Structure 1
Amino acid sequence: MPTVLAYGADYSDRELGPEELDAYDRQHPDEQISVLLRYIGYPDNPKCISCYPGAYQRHVDAGRTVLLVAQQGWHDAAEGYQGGQARARLALEDARRIGYPEDLPIFMASDRWLGPNPERGWPAIPLGTAMAYLDGAASVLGRERTGAYGFRDFVYPAQDGAHAWWLWLCGDEAGVRDGIQFYQWNGGTLSIGGVPADLNKVYVDLSNGGGFMSLSNQQQAALAAMADQYLPGEDGVRGAGRMVLWLNDRFTELSAQNAALTAAVQAMAGGATTDQLRQYIDEAVARHVQVTVEVAGKPGA
């Protein structure tokens, strides 16, 4: 079980003021709220922090970290890739309006188990559809900013498949495993200023500029530069990713050339077997690839 480093709260009835949170902290010195997880994307909805002009900055000025979550309803993850893109765009535009930093995450929510719920008349959400929802969001936000909130049937695959970097688990606390940064406690609710709120356990140090690990701002900048080179972004691929795709295209071309040459030489050679001809051509292609890479180097350099 990861070590709890801080406590957070999420709520939806209305926006709390810093003074209300301060009053709660004085009454609960062992569980002071230093992280707020707030809804974003729908500025006309009173559950969203953007519905309250200046609220985000007031919380930050009071010394609290605010992280954002995009959620419209129970079944957001059923909307797949295009739905993830659409909701991420709404969330990102709204986040920028309130001055939210570009290096902090936005969580995409699945506020239900993915399996069917006959009592509520809910059909199952296919796992592939739910992960595509995260992938769609990541195509807008960047994978390094994409968070996944939900039960373990959503968060575990998001972690295992690297569909999201930020992980916020709800449900059974026994399901918290290494790499999960937040857990929404299911043992009851808090009351802060008369507003029902969920208590969240925070397993990462957010005090050094908002990174997902205990890193300084300089270290986070270096990590972000590495991510820019090696991770896919909104423009498709970048950095080393372009090199990988270029090599893949070249080997695809060579494979096609190999097959064509084999057929042509087979037609002319008469006695030579196909296996003998393929071995000769494969050796020639290998020599060609080695020389090409050594001489040409990285494309676009």
Structure 2
Amino acid sequence: MPTYSEYWVDYSARKISGAAMAAARIGPNGERCTGTIRYIDAPHLLSTKHTNKAEYDDLIAHGLKVRLVHQGNTKDADSGFHGGVNRALRAKAGADHLGYTGVIFFTNDRTTLPDPGAWRAYLDGAASVLGRERVGAYGFANALNAAVGRASAFWQAGRESDLVPHANVYQWNNGRVYISGTECDLNKVVHDYAPGSATPPPNNTPVQEDEDDEVSYYPKELPVSMTEAFVTLPWDGRPAVLNVTPTGSIVFVGKPLNWGPGGGTGGGHSTVSGVNPTRVEVNRPGQYAIPAGTTRIFYAYSCATPHFVWVKAA
């Protein structure tokens, strides 16, 4: 077994004060708790299990390390590239609200890995939003082995005897610890990872992206506008898809207009069957075909919460 450098917790039942966590002795030899991995979501979607600004600031003030994890459900990993984009946009919004710039873990929270390709694409989608160095992978050994090259930090569950060489943190599954009466998972830190650190994580080899997975215009956050607002997105003339991802409520979208060297080239049309092209619902990204020759996409919208747009070559 590896030598563990620190002991952290993760939990979801309630918030824990920084003072209580810093004082807790959770290691097998009475080692103090030095950090935690906390759930995060977009600021307007935070619930009991998520950290918030007050708890995060309190933990940091007491000298504790904080890492973040985003999870919708146990099948997140099956949602592929677009699912990874959507989840990472939500996680990034929450992290930005906290002032957090570190790694965010994304999960395959089950013993099986039904679709390794979808899991890798899911992590690729998250990396298109956050950058590869901020993407972490959580799961059992099968998921973490499939995530090599797709993530920069690795948090493993399952049997300790199955620990993979590139694991940064091991979630001990043989019992629980308690802080202020709150049940917590105990996590054993093999070697911490922080984006931009001098020593890169092991086995994090560069990946040659498939051309189909190329995100050519990275997500742009658009602010609330209760009346019609307009934005112009630059483009390079290739056929493309304009994606619209809401973060909390319906986005009303005008038909996107496309402009090339000779002026207008016609409006984009919805590529999502059964979806009203002028109403993008919560967690159902709208997509619009953008024709070849477009050098500017003129986008009109109104919304009650911020949302994101991004363009991908068709």
* Residues in 2 aligned to 1:181 and 1:11: alpha-carbon distance in whole angstroms: 18
Partner of 1:171: 158
| Equivalent residue runs for 1:1-301 within 5 Å | 1-25=1-25, 30-43=30-43, 44-50=46-52, 53-101=53-101, 104-115=102-113, 125-159=114-148, 162-205=149-192, 210-211=194-195, 219=198
Could you tell me whether the CA contact under 8 Å between 1:81 and 1:135 is conserved in 2? yes
Relative to structure 1, the CA distance from residue 142 to residue 231 in structure 2 (aligned partners, 3 Å threshold; closer, same or farther) is farther
Could you tell me whether the CA contact under 8 Å between 1:75 and 1:111 is conserved in 2? yes
Q: TM-score, normalised by structure 1?
A: 0.63
1:210-261, Cα deviation, whole Å (9 max, x unpaired): 458xx5xxx47xx7xxx9x999896579xxxxxxxxxxxxxxxxxxxxxxxx
Could you tell me whether the CA contact under 8 Å between 1:8 and 1:200 is conserved in 2? yes
Q: What percent of counterpart residues are identical?
A: 36
* Residues in 2 aligned to 1:27 and 1:201: alpha-carbon distance in whole angstroms: 9
Relative to structure 1, the CA distance from residue 34 to residue 23 in structure 2 (aligned partners, 3 Å threshold; closer, same or farther) is closer
Structure 1 stretches of at least 4 aligned residues deviating more than 4 Å after TM superposition: 26-29, 229-237
Could you tell me whether the CA contact under 8 Å between 2:107 and 2:139 is conserved in 1? yes
1:177-211, Cα deviation, whole Å (9 max, x unpaired): 322100000111111111110000101156xxx45
* Residues in 2 aligned to 1:5 and 1:99: alpha-carbon distance in whole angstroms: 26
Matched to 1:197, the amino acid is C
> Between Structure 1 and Structure 2, how many residues are aligned?
208
Matched to 2:50, the amino acid is C
The structure in which a higher percent of residues are helix is 1
* Residues in 1 aligned to 2:26 and 2:11: alpha-carbon distance in whole angstroms: 19
Could you tell me whether the CA contact under 8 Å between 1:169 and 1:180 is conserved in 2? yes
Q: Report the RMSD for the aligned CA atoms in angstroms.
A: 2.8
Query: Which one has a bigger Cα radius of gyration?
Result: 1
Matched to 1:145, the amino acid is R
Could you tell me whether the CA contact under 8 Å between 1:84 and 1:136 is conserved in 2? yes
* Residues in 2 aligned to 1:179 and 1:98: alpha-carbon distance in whole angstroms: 28
